[in-house]
């Protein structure tokens, strides 16, 4: 597809699994990546950037597996401007029914300094690497990293070089979130007008949100002729994140009167994906986040409530059901059965097999015994907990008892199953959580440093579940752990253990491979 054939169709290129995963702490497991890729495909994402295959064996395997399971979506892998990177990328994506190689190099003065290439040498490198990629496959995307801080004449020159060498999509990254809407549009328009061969390729926009303008910049680029938007669910991504998929897709839908472009996204699946990405990445969605925030469809002030009751359009520009938020008419509690739980879970976007339903049902009943009312948020937390504390984990929490109060030191008695064998210890600490974490360290000694410990109440009330997130770092590798429980200390230890289990998986992965220059 190019800019000539389908003028109003904007391709959605999701990079949650690549650029999104680059957020410090957002590391996902192999299974989580496969699950998200399947959900993205079902939602109608045109291109899924599944990872950076040369980065590690784990990344390579995840991209290959996603390529194998894919059907409609194009599966794309990222590679530097190096033959070995590109070969490795192709080895991973080639299993897809529709595959894409994405190769990039930083072209701005700062990046030319880093790679130590003159303008001429860089042009040669681009020509050689894109030609190499094109000899392997016919769907090639090329990106001039930091395009928005690059001299315009040089940008035209490198884009022309990539097109001549066989690139079929030219992606223009605003790598550091530096541009603004008018400039974003002018840049795409200038490239389309000036670069020979521009009408034969699809122009794409890839924006970061450092100044909060990623969505506006992406839409401005579309108005100027870009027909692919690169984005992530919940805007997950490095620093302030990437363009949020749900924002650009819903903006194009709600304001189709002034932006007459369409995407292939089934918007009713947005909320489910948002929840899954938040749970898997450990990055909670802020309450007032556009489209998917908890408050996006809530009205508390009297005049707003009055207006919405008389005519919902008074204060709502989209319908909750358009993004998959359903009316809450099944009250869940300790007397509810499996049929109600299955229906409720389906409404919340979780399709459960009979075995999963039985497992979740047991946990649901245990929760209902401890908690008066079960809200949707409790069930979502329960599902996240089921996914993060799996039976096959190396370390499992078996028993925890803490002694706390005004007289210290606080104490924790902890039993962990490690590789199937139970180990118990007593530890003290400055507070019950500290004591319990010390007990974990005694039973499973490690060098990982706790970088972040966060507690959120899932709902209101003193019997509310607490969701705990921890972030840990070992030798530059960052992992997050999450868990929920009505007991905050139990949730804390389970989240800590969840992070350690992820670290164990990461340790098992072999070292990154190195890239040769062409
Ligand atoms: C804006 C973006 O999102 S770009 C994508 C960023 N994502 C990532 O970096 C995540 C995956 N990265 C990795 O796992 C590692 O960086 C690897 C495996 C790719 C490389 O690891 P290492 O070989 O140890 O190199 P290291 O990360 O220290 O440095 C990057 C090297 O790539 C070079 N490089 C960076 N971008 C490019 C490029 N597009 N094309 C060619 N070379 C590049 C740098 O100049 C540096 O080269 P040097 O080692 O000769 O100085
Ligand atoms: C690799 C490119 C597309 C990128 O992620 C960026 O420049 O932000």
**Together in a domain, 205 and 129:** yes
**Together in a domain, 355 and 402:** no
Query: Which pLDDT belongs to residue 459?
Result: 75
Ligand 2 site residues, Cβ closer than 6 angstroms: 19, 78, 104, 143, 145, 171, 173, 175, 206
**Together in a domain, 345 and 475:** no
**Together in a domain, 133 and 277:** yes
Question: Ligand 2 center to residue 263 CA distance, Å?
Answer: 22
* CB contact at 8 A, 433 and 490: no
In SS3 terms, 44-71 reads as: CCCEEEEECHHHCHHHHHHHHHHHHHCC
From CA 91, how far away is CA 94, in angstroms rounded? 6
Residue 459 near ligand 1, beta carbon < 6 Å? no
Question: Is residue 95 part of an annotated ligand binding site?
Answer: no
Helix (H) / strand (E) containing 274: helix 270-281
Residue 288 within a domain = no
User: What are the start-end ranges of the H helices in 166-269?
Assistant: 181-194, 214-223, 245-254
* CB contact at 8 A, 397 and 379: no
Q: What is the pLDDT of residues 281-325, one digit of tens each?
A: 888 899 899 999 988 887 667 776 677 677 777 777 899 999 998
Q: Taking Cα atoms as reference points, which of 199, 168, 211, 224 lies closest to residue 10?
A: 224
Residue 517 within a domain = no
**Together in a domain, 209 and 339:** no
Which residues touch 191 (CB under 8 Å, ≥6 apart)?
Answer: 155, 156, 159, 170, 172, 198, 203
Q: Which ligand is nearest to the CA of 230?
A: 2
- Among residues of the chain, what percentage have pLDDT more than 70? 94
Query: Could you tell me where the beta strands, DSSP code E, fall in 7-136?
Result: 11-14, 47-51, 74-80, 99-106
Residue 52 near ligand 1, beta carbon < 6 Å? yes
From 122, 509, 515, mutation site for ligand 1 pocket: most ligand atoms within 8 A of C-beta? 515
* CB contact at 8 A, 342 and 356: no
Q: How far is CA 255 from CA 204, 219, 469, in A?
A: 21, 11, 37
From 16, 77, 80, 107, mutation site for ligand 1 pocket: most ligand atoms within 8 A of C-beta? 80
Going by DSSP bridges, is the β-strand pair 228-231/11-14 parallel, antiparallel, or unpaired? Answer: parallel
* CB contact at 8 A, 245 and 292: no
Q: Which ligand is nearest to the CA of 512?
A: 1
Query: Look-up: residue for tokens 């998959």?
Result: 324
**Together in a domain, 270 and 304:** no
Question: Is residue 487 part of an annotated ligand binding site?
Answer: no
**Together in a domain, 276 and 299:** no
Atom 8 of ligand 2 has which residue's CA nearest to it? 175
Max CA pair span of the chain:
77
Q: What is the number of structural domains in the chain? A: 4
Tens-digit pLDDT string for the chain (518 aa): 444 446 899 999 999 999 999 887 777 888 889 999 999 999 999 999 999 999 999 899 999 999 999 999 999 999 999 999 999 999 999 999 999 999 999 999 999 999 999 999 999 999 999 999 999 999 999 999 999 999 999 999 999 999 999 999 999 999 999 999 999 999 999 999 999 999 999 999 999 999 999 999 999 999 999 999 999 999 999 999 999 999 999 999 999 999 999 999 999 999 999 988 988 888 889 989 999 998 888 766 777 667 767 777 777 789 999 999 876 667 788 888 888 889 888 877 788 889 889 989 998 998 888 877 788 888 888 887 776 666 778 999 999 999 999 988 899 999 999 999 999 999 999 999 999 999 999 999 999 999 889 888 877 777 788 889 888 888 877 788 888 888 999 999 999 999 999 888 877 764 455 544 44
Peptide bond into 264 cis (omega under 30): no
420: left (phi over 0), alpha (psi -120 to 50) or beta: left
- pTM for the predicted model, two decimal places: 0.81
Atom of ligand 2 nearest to the CA of 19: 5
Question: Ligand 1 center to residue 54 CA distance, Å?
Answer: 10
Q: Can you state the percent helix, strand and coil of the chain, rounding each to 5?
A: 45, 20, 35
Residue 200 within a domain = yes
Residue 512 within a domain = no
Residue 82 near ligand 1, beta carbon < 6 Å? yes
Domain extent at residue 474 = 395-507
**Together in a domain, 124 and 154:** yes
Q: What is the pLDDT of residues 482-510, one digit of tens each?
A: 888 889 999 999 999 999 998 888 777 64
**CATH code for the domain in which residue 486 is found:** 3.30.160.270
């Amino acid at each position: 597809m190019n800019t000539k054939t389908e003028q109003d169709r904007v391709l959605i290129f999701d990079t949650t699994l690549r650029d999104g995963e680059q957020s410090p702490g957002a590391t996902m497991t192999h299974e989580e990546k496969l699950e998200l890729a399947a959900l993205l495909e079902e939602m109608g994402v045109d291109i899924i950037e599944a990872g950076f295959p040369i980065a590690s064996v784990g990344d390579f395997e995840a991209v290959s597996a996603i390529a194998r399971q894919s059907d409609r979506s194009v599966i794309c892998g990222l590679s530097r401007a190096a033959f070995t990177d590109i070969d490795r990328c192709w080895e991973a994506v080639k299993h897809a029914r529709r595959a894409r190689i994405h190769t990039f190099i930083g072209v701005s003065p700062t990046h030319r300094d880093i790679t130590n290439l003159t303008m001429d040498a860089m042009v040669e490198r681009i020509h050689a690497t894109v030609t190499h990629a094109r000899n392997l496959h016919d769907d090639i995307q090329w990106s001039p990293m930091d395009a928005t801080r690059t001299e315009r004449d040089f940008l035209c020159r490198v884009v022309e070089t990539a097109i001549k060498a066989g690139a079929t999509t030219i992606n223009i990254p605003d790598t550091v979130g530096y541009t603004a809407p008018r400039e974003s549009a002018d840049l795409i328009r200038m490239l389309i007008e000036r670069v020979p061969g521009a009408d034969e390729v699809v122009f794409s926009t890839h924006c970061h949100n450092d100044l909060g303008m990623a969505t506006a910049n992406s839409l401005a680029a579309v108005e100027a002729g870009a027909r692919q938007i690169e984005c992530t669910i919940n805007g997950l991504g490095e620093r302030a994140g990437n363009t949020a998929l749900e924002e650009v897709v819903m903006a194009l839908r709600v304001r189709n009167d002034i932006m007459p472009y369409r995407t292939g996204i089934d918007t009713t699946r947005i909320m489910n994906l948002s929840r899954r990405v938040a749970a898997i990445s450990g990055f909670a969605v802020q309450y007032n986040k556009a489209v998917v925030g908890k408050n996006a469809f809530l009205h508390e002030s009297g005049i707003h409530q009055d207006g919405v009751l008389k005519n919902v359009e008074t204060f709502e520009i989209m319908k909750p059901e358009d993004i998959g938020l359903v009316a809450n008419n099944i009250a869940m509690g300790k007397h509810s059965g499996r049929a109600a739980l299955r229906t409720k879970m389906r409404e919340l976007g979780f399709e459960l097999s009979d075995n999963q339903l039985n497992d979740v049902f047991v946990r649901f009943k245990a929760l209902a015994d401890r908690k008066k009312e079960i809200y949707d948020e409790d069930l979502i937390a329960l599902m996240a907990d089921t996914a993060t504390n799996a039976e096959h984990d190396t370390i499992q929490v078996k028993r925890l008892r803490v002694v706390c109060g005004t007289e210290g030191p606080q104490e924790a008695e902890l039993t962990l199953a490690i590789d199937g064998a139970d180990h118990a210890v007593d530890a003290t600490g400055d507070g019950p959580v500290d004591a319990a974490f010390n007990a974990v360290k005694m039973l499973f000694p490690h060098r990982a440093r706790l970088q972040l410990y966060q507690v959120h109440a899932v709902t209101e009330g003193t019997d509310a579940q607490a969701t705990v997130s921890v972030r840990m770092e070992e030798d530059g590798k960052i992992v997050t752990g999450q868990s929920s429980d009505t007991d905050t200390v139990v949730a804390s230890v389970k989240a800590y253990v969840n992070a350690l289990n992820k670290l164990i998986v990461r340790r098992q992965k072999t070292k990154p491979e190195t890239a040769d220059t062409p």
